[in-house]
């Protein structure tokens, strides 16, 4: 096991900037699929598949597919619905995948479009003129293309000078992006950095796989990380950021530019999201809980005093266990809010949506934790304190 953790605060070197979160932004797709709709289309797909393969199933050459169930999905994950960019083809039993029209090179690409919408929301909330932003990081678990970077397209659409680049740390992309942005501030290389996480996860999900067809949804978030000296009066002081990675094959996607197999060709299932959900659950919960407790200790903070946990939104049971270990009691919805019921798992955007939708009521001096975890394995913590 390799621990590649990094910690940047309190830093021992001279700081030229003190990073804060000035604002966050959210784009939510209009369309949503309820568990009932999802299971109805999945079960229709299963019936078609089993009918088409009846002889081979009868002969024992092909395994019959099994129906999915609304009750299982909600109990196992806490998910009741998910927003998507392209509903009709996903719930069409003959397609079972999003179909997003290709756009010309001179049109804004779809991932940039939703990233820009979330970024504009964050900029408006901070009262920030895009011309004053120095850098854009597009931090997400899937990029629409290898290059030019999505971040540079977003940068251009917003009219930002400076520089931009993409980064991918799966479900932890946003917190890794926040630390990267905070480090630019700490080092004095930037005073305002946008971390944008457009997650069109419906594209990497195997909607025909009973074990995982219910997991993901689409969304985009943005976080504006700035130097305290430059930020609006009301903001979130970043007390510390900490990252950790430990290699694991338990969440994996083998899609890449070296394996351009036809989607229906044999052996193509692993070119989409696959996971050993039970192992992930067992291995990630203790790792993340310990990481939070250790970091709180380093900050000389009792983790039980954290006013709110904005945890990664993958599974309600995982979040229950993590917050129990961190707070020492079962967390209320107020202490550890969930957005799983309406958004599903939105990969790196999940903890940011929770933060965005459930932070307005915190008051000056309240502390909280944004925490992500997922494939890699990867995990990131961002301890914050409300100012103003």
Among 262, 278, 300, 363, binds ligand COA (CB under 6 A): 278
DSSP 250: S
Calpha distance 172→251 (Å, rounded): 13
Residues belonging to the active site: 171
CB under 8 Å, gap of 24 or more: what pairs does 152-159 form?
Answer: 153/108, 153/109, 153/112, 154/112, 154/115, 154/116, 154/119, 154/194, 154/196, 157/108, 157/112, 157/116, 158/116, 158/119, 158/120, 158/123, 158/130, 158/133, 158/194, 159/130, 159/131
The least CB distance from residue 199 to ligand COA, in Å, is 11
Residue 27 CB, nearest distance to ligand COA (Å)? Answer: 20
Question: What three-state secondary structure class fits 140?
Answer: coil
| Listed ranges 43-51, 56-64, 65-73, 107-115: which one lies at the site for ligand COA (CB under 6 A) | 65-73
CA 5 to CA 2: how far, in whole Å? 9
Stretch of 142-150, 186-194, 272-280, 298-306 contacting ligand COA, by CB under 6 A: 272-280
C-beta of 212: minimal distance to ligand COA in Å?
6
Shortest distance, position 193 Cβ to ligand COA, whole Å: 25
Could you give the angle at which helices 150-158 and 110-126 cross, rounded to 10 degrees? 50
Which of the 8 DSSP states describes residue 133?
-
SS3 of the chain: helix, strand, coil, percent, to 5: 35, 20, 40
**Of residues 195, 200, 219, 280, which one binds ligand COA by CB under 6 A?**
280
Residue nearest to ligand COA (CB): 277
- At closest approach, how far in Å is the CB of 365 from ligand COA? 32
Strand ranges inside 201-234, DSSP E: 218-227
For ligand COA, the closer CB: 251 or 369:
251
Segment (H or E) for 113: helix 110-126
Specify the residue, 201 or 359, whose C-beta has the smaller distance to ligand COA: 201
- Of residues 9, 314, 326, 331, which one binds ligand COA by CB under 6 A? 314
Residues 6+ apart with CB under 8 A from 349: 140, 174, 197, 199, 219, 220, 221
Rg (CA), the chain: 21
- CB-wise, 115 or 350, nearer to ligand COA? 350
Binding residue for ligand COA, selected from 35, 68, 175, 197, defined by CB under 6 A: 68
Residue 69 in contact with ligand COA, rule: CB under 6 A: yes
Among 62, 281, 298, 325, binds ligand COA (CB under 6 A): 281
| Residues in region 165-224 near ligand COA by CB under 6 A | 171, 210-211
Strand partners, 219: 199
Which positions from 334 through 363 interact with ligand COA, judged by CB under 6 A?
345
Q: Based on the number of CB atoms within 10 Å of its own CB, is 132 exposed (0-12), middle (13-18) or buried (19 or more)?
A: middle
| CB of residue 87 to ligand COA, shortest distance in Å | 19
Phi-psi region of 114 (alpha: psi -120 to 50; beta: other; left: phi over 0): alpha
Residues 72-131 that bind ligand COA (CB under 6 A): 72-73, 76-77
Find the part of the chain contacting ligand COA (CB under 6 A) among 178-186, 310-318, 331-339, 378-386.
310-318
Looking at the Cβ atoms of 72 and 230, the one nearer to ligand COA is 72
Q: Work out which of 25, 344, 374, 380 binds ligand COA, going by CB under 6 A.
A: 374
Size of the site for ligand COA (CB under 6 A): 21
d(CA 253, CA 235): 37
The footprint of ligand COA (CB under 6 A) covers 68-69, 72-73, 76-77, 171, 210-211, 251, 275, 277-278, 280-281, 314-315, 318, 345, 374-375
């Amino acid at each position: 096991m390799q621990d590649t953790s990094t910690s940047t605060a309190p830093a021992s070197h001279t700081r030229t900037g003190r990073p804060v979160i000035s604002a966050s932004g959210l784009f939510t797709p209009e369309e949503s699929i309820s568990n009932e709709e999802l299971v109805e289309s999945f079960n229709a797909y299963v019936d078609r598949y089993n009918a088409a393969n009846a002889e081979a199933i009868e002969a024992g050459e092909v395994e019959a597919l099994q129906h999915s169930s609304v009750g299982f999905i909600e109990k196992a994950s806490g998910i009741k619905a998910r927003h998507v960019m392209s509903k009709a083809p996903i719930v069409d039993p003959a397609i079972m995948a999003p179909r997003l029209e290709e756009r010309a090179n001179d049109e804004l690409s779809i991932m940039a479009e939703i990233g820009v919408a979330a970024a504009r929301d964050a900029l408006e909330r901070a009262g920030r003129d895009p011309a004053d932003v120095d850098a854009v990081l597009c931090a997400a678990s899937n990029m629409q293309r290898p290059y030019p970077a999505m971040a540079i397209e977003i940068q251009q659409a917003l009219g930002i000078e400076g520089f931009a680049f993409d980064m991918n740390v799966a479900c932890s992309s946003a917190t890794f992006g926040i630390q990267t942005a905070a480090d630019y501030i700490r080092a004095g290389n930037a005073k305002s950095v946008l971390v944008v996480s457009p997650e069109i996860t419906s594209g990497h999900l195997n909607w025909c796989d009973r074990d995982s067809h219910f997991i993901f949804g689409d969304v985009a978030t943005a976080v504006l990380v700035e130097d305290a000296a430059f930020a609006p009066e009301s903001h979130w002081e970043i007390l510390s950021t900490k990252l950790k990675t430990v290699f694991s094959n338990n969440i994996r996607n083998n899609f890449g530019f070296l394996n351009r197999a036809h989607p229906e060709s044999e052996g193509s299932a692993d070119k989409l999201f696959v996971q050993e959900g039970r192992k992930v659950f067992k291995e990630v919960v203790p790792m993340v809980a310990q990481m939070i407790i250790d970091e709180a200790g380093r900050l000389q903070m009792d983790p039980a005093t954290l006013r709110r946990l904005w945890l990664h939104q993958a599974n309600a049971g995982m979040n229950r266990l993590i917050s129990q270990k961190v707070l020492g009691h079962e967390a209320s919805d107020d202490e550890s809010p969930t957005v799983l019921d309406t958004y599903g798992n939105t990969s790196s955007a999940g903890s940011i949506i929770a933060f965005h939708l459930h932070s307005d009521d915190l008051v000056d001096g309240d502390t909280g934790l944004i925490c992500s975890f997922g494939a890699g394995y990867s995990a990131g913590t961002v301890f914050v304190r409300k100012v103003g």
